[in-house]
Amino acid sequence: MASPSDSVGKSWFRLRYEEERDTPSETRNVLLIVAALITAVTFQAGVNPPGGVWQDDSDGHKAGRAIYASQKVAFYVFLISNTVALSASILVLISLTYRFPFHFEIWVATASMYATYASAVFAIAPDESVRFRYVLLAAAVPFVMRFVIQMFKKLRSRV
């Protein structure tokens, strides 16, 4: 009897699964759960950053600003990485729910969640520590990459 790693399996949405053991529906559901967990964790981390926020105005700090922002490079890396992870997981959620019931509502909820995330990040990050255009670009990276990959595939198939 061949082990699962020996068999090639079937490919669905560029994802390999064992046809005898898994169905496309089960595979999709697992991906939805993983993407939803990543979305929840990254959203929470952006809204409530590691180390919390300053509770009062003192020693040159403003209440409600991220304590972690005092370490400018580390906070910037956290913010950009967290934003890319949030966007990538949302892209997976949107892709896996495409043409399913309530897809429009999922788009509305996603847009609202992005707006909430952005307003929270802008509220907790000191103005001088973050160039917000880079955070916005980080949010677009997964979507732009997916678009470029799809266009490359279309062009390649025409040749």
Separation of CA 116 from chain center: 14
Quote the tokens at residue 44.
């929470």
Per-residue exposure over 100-120, b if at least 16 CB sit within 10 Å of its own CB, e if not: eeeeeebeeebeeebeebbee
pLDDT at position 50 is 93
pLDDT band at 3 (very low <50, low <70, confident <90, very high): very low
- Can you give the pTM of this predicted structure? 0.80
User: What are the boundaries of each domain within the chain?
Assistant: 10-158
Residue 66 has pLDDT above 70, yes or no: yes
Dump pLDDT digits (tens) for 71-93: 988 998 999 999 999 999 999 99
User: Given a cut of 60, is residue 25 above it in pLDDT?
Assistant: yes
pLDDT of residue 14: 54
**10 touches 16 (CB < 8 A):** yes
pLDDT at 12: 47
Q: Is the pLDDT of residue 9 over 80?
A: no
Does the pLDDT at position 16 exceed 70? no
Written in H, E and C, the secondary structure of the chain is: CCCCCCCCCEEECCEEECCCCCCHHHHHHHHHHHHHHHHHHHHHHHHCCCCCECCCCECCECCCCEHHHHCHHHHHHHHHHHHHHHHHHHHHHHHHCCCCCCHHHHHHHHHHHHHHHHHHHHHHCCCCCCCHHHHHHHHHHHHHHHHHHHHHHHHHHHC
Q: Is the pLDDT reported for residue 7 higher than 70?
A: no
Give me the pLDDT at residue 11, please: 47
pLDDT by residue (tens digit) across 105-139? 999 999 999 999 999 998 888 876 567 788 888 99
pLDDT at residue number 41:
96
